[in-house]
Amino acid sequence: MASVEDRIEAFESAQVDALERLIVAAPLYTSGPHDPTAAPSWQEPYFTTPAHQRPKFEMGDDPRLPKMPAKPTLLDYFTYRFGPIEHLLQSARLAKINGCSEKMILACLLHDISMAGMIGSDHGYWGAQLIEPYVDEEVSWAIRYHQALRFFPDPSVGYEYPVAYHQFFGEDYVPDDYIKRDHDYARNHKWYMSARIITMNDLYAFDPDVRVDIGDFEDIIGRHFRQPEEGLGYDNSPSAHMWRTIIRPRKFL
């Protein structure tokens, strides 16, 4: 039987590629494949190892990830943390081709920002909260409610239920009640069409022959995204902690 020292050494090697510090995934990262109510896999070998031999937990940058600038900008997140971003870039490109306003082009560029950098579940709500301190209220509102509107057709503007959703979710999928509620609310809101524009430029089939660079939207970002001087994540805004989490997604505490 392997000794405690051998087990902890093997565990560290497999988990952090022989890094000196222990990098632990938060419950949200492992929930599903592992029961979130059960003890995490690192716990037993860690606490059965003599205290003086235990590795330190990672509380800074994860050395496996690209280093972020000291004062990161939105473009830095696109470059070093978000991905894949082709969906966002091509949706924004389509909005530009369709003659949308710069605010709506920005909204299309950022509409799935949560999925690109943080979480997929309720991504419209998370994404809106992430960018609210830095954009016009209409932009964050549109991103929040596009999540509900995309499930409901609007023949008056030529929007149909996405064919891809039948494949993604099944023919019998029915949106949750809160999605129906938020659709009804948004349908009668003054900014309804702003959220609807996102759904109308939300590409589900990407063109592999089209190459779009985030730099193509640098001027629009500069005019409509309020970049904090301290850097995104360090400006003490209501969502600064969310940006910091994207910078250091495996920080222990």
Query: Which pLDDT belongs to residue 33?
Result: 87
CA 190 to chain centre: 27
The per-residue pLDDT for 158 is 96
φ, ψ of residue 131 in degrees (nearest 5): -105, -5
Condensed to tens digits (0 to 9), the pLDDT of residues 168-193 reads 999 999 999 999 999 999 999 999 99
Per-residue pLDDT of the chain (253 residues; tens, 9 = 90+): 454 445 544 544 554 444 578 998 888 888 988 898 999 888 999 999 999 899 999 999 999 999 999 999 999 999 999 988 999 999 999 999 999 999 999 999 999 999 999 999 999 999 999 999 999 999 999 999 999 999 999 999 999 999 999 999 999 999 999 999 999 999 999 999 999 999 999 988 778 888 999 999 999 999 999 999 999 999 999 999 999 999 999 999 9
Beta strands (DSSP E) in the chain are 21-22, 56-57
Q: Which of 253, 234, 210 is nearest to 76 (CA)?
A: 234
Distance CA 110, CA 138 (A): 13
Are 86 and 206 contacting, i.e. CB atoms less than 8 angstroms apart? Answer: yes
Query: For domain 74-247, which CATH number applies: 1.10.3210, 2.60.40, 1.10.357, 3.40.50?
Result: 1.10.3210
pLDDT at 74: 98
Position 141, amino acid = W
Q: CB–CB of 204/173 below 8 Å?
A: no
Structural domain boundaries of the chain?
4-57, 74-247
The amino acid sitting at 88 is L
Q: Residue 120, class by beta-carbon neighbours within 10 Å (0-12 exposed, 13-18 middle, 19+ buried)?
A: exposed
Q: So what's the pLDDT on residue 8?
A: 44
Q: Which two tokens stand for residue 197?
A: 């524009």
